Amino acid sequence: MKKIVTLACAAVAGITAATAQTESNQWAVGVYGGLTEYEGELASNMMGILKDNYSFYGHGGISVNRFLNKRWDVAFFGSYGLLGAKKEGIEFDNEDSKGSLVLGTNSSNNPEMKLTEVYGDLTAAFKFVTKDSCRFSPYIFAGAGYRYLMVKDANKYIGAEGGDPVIVAGLGCDYKINDRFALTYTARYGYTLGDDKDQYECGSAKDQQLMHSLGLKFCFGSPKDSDKDGVEDKLDKCPNTPIGVSVDANGCPLDEDKDGVPDYKDNCKGTPAGVTVDSLGCPVDTDGDGVADYLDKCADTPKEAEVDENGCPKDSDGDGVADYLDKCPGTPAAAKGYVDENGCPTDKDGDGVYDYEDKCPETPGIKENKGCPEIKAEVKQLFKKALNGIQFETGKAKIKGKTSFAILDDVVKVMQENPAYKLNIGGHTDNVGNAEKNMQLSKERAASVREYLISKGVEESRLAAAGYGDTQPVADNKTAKGRAENRRVAFVVEF
């Protein structure tokens, strides 16, 4: 029978749910009812349900259980009931020195024992199933107890009043109904240290008994919360949370910005999702420039560099060289692309005119000519010759005369040899005639000269033409000579 009970409990131990007595419910009280079998001189077939001398009497009991851990419990069990036996075909000697027998209505050949038993024991139980998720929990237990027996009716039954220590062992199985209640069965074997309560001693064996008890347990207690975060241990996914830390429903510290660092450690709350953070929950700043990596467009800035909001070294003068490297921090914006690695403007030809201002950066020149060489004397002479040497048809803008074209061809040559030159062509008249017509004529003559130079290959962008009429005389218009000097085409070089 013991084997059957053990196998039955073990077979169902895997069915899921939660055991009633756990770390959250550390105490349990139970009430029981059951039957007690006796084995002694009057009945020696314990568990012999089909035997003639089968002895089975009822009892009621209570228990108090204390959860120790997932493997061990301790329990007190107490009961009140009957213990008895009937044996046919045995004779007692009334003169036996062991004590007088009071044989009531039974003959000496059919003695019957019926005693009232008050029983209690203290045991330790070993549980086979440690998962709270199992509905069935089989266990074995062992311990020690004490029984006290009283004769039910001395005129009718045999028996001796008194108490015996009991060595206890057994097995049991709990079935959880819900978080508070569980059905329970125990088979409790007791080996007593006495052999005289049936008033018959035979051999060295002591009286024994087996108690079958079926009961109902009520489990209670404060849920265990080791870290005091308000979430009981069985639900707590973060069981070692420091005291006072706010937690979520799983008992884990809150992490509002989801950066992997709990709020109580997070010095940078509100970090955007996906940003890599350090142990304090602050965005990582690998180069230590004060701009987090996720915002830093220049991730390897040296420590000495002052940076902008993008984490890039500042370049206050916009010359392409960061301030921390710039030895010429006030360089004009126009110098961008014309500075060296130190941020200073370059001067390739060494003429004292920086390249960004130098119209002739490969040729030494003078500042007045924006870095270009001084205009040669022969060029100046050519332009002087052109003042009055270029002739037009009277009252018209059409160029005439071989001398005029020869002068202009020389001008083309000068422009081709000096690509930095830009030429302003100015047309002028004397004051004879209508001033408005003179102004128009001067414009047309200047434009005519420009068109000729373009036709000979000079770039349009290098030539400008304007007419001034009689507004800029260089001689006295009262004389024929003076008026002749005022009728001119002037060339002015710009760089």
For tokens 């924006």, the residue is 370
The per-residue DSSP string of 181-205 comes to: EEEEEEEEEEEES---TTS---SSP
User: What integer pLDDT is reported at residue 44 of this predicted model?
Assistant: 53
Which residues lie closer than 8 Å to 411 by C-beta, 6 or more apart? 382, 383, 386, 423, 453, 491
Domains 2-220 and 377-494 belong to one CATH topology: no
Pick the CATH number of 2-220 from 2.40.160.20, 3.40.80.10, 3.50.50.60, 3.40.50.150: 2.40.160.20
Pairing between β-strand 56-67 and β-strand 27-39 as defined by DSSP bridges: antiparallel
Q: List, in sequence order, every residue forming a beta bridge with 170; answer none if it has no partner.
A: 141, 188
The per-residue DSSP string of 375-421 comes to: PPHHHHHHHHHHHHH-EE-TTS--EESHHHHHHHHHHHHHHHH-TT-
CA-to-CA dists, residue 241 to 69, 232, 248, 378, angstroms: 21, 12, 11, 95
User: What integer pLDDT is reported at residue 413 of this predicted model?
Assistant: 95
d(CA 397, CA 437): 12
Tokens found for residue 280: 């304090």
For tokens 């301790």, the residue is 74
User: What integer pLDDT is reported at residue 380 of this predicted model?
Assistant: 87
d(CA 277, CA 273): 10
Which residues lie closer than 8 Å to 82 by C-beta, 6 or more apart? 36, 57, 58, 59, 114, 115, 116, 117, 152
Q: Which long-range contacts (CB under 8 A, 24 or more apart) does 339-343 make?
A: 343/317, 343/319
Pick the CATH number of 377-494 from 1.10.510.10, 3.40.50.1110, 3.30.1330.60, 3.40.50.2300: 3.30.1330.60
Each domain of the chain, given as residue ranges in start order, spans 2-220, 377-494
Q: List, in sequence order, every residue forming a beta bridge with 174; answer none if it has no partner.
A: 137, 184
d(CA 81, CA 117): 5
User: What integer pLDDT is reported at residue 105 of this predicted model?
Assistant: 38
Q: Do the beta carbons of residue 76 and residue 120 sit within 8 Å?
A: yes
Give, in degrees to the nearest 5, the angle at Cα 165 between 163 and 171. Answer: 125
Tokens found for residue 135: 């509905």
Which residues lie closer than 8 Å to 402 by C-beta, 6 or more apart? none
For tokens 């039955």, the residue is 8
Q: Do the beta carbons of residue 195 and residue 208 sit within 8 Å?
A: no
Nearest alpha carbon to residue 194 among 141, 148, 151: 148
d(CA 32, CA 77): 10
CA torsion 180→184→189→190, rounded to 10°? Answer: 40
d(CA 126, CA 69): 10
- Average pLDDT for runs of 10 along the chain of length 495: 41 41 80 90 55 74 94 97 71 43 44 86 95 88 96 72 95 93 97 77 75 96 80 85 89 89 90 90 89 89 90 89 90 88 91 88 87 87 87 91 93 92 94 94 95 96 96 94 92 90
User: What integer pLDDT is reported at residue 11 of this predicted model?
Assistant: 40
The per-residue DSSP string of 445-488 comes to: HHHHHHHHHHHTT--GGGEEEEE-TTSS-SS-TTSHHHHHHHSE
Burial of 324 (C-beta count, 10 Å sphere; 0-12/13-18/19+): middle
Q: Spell 209-222 as b/e; 16+ CB within 10 A means b.
A: bbbbbebebebeee
How far out from the chain centre does Cα 339 lie? Answer: 47
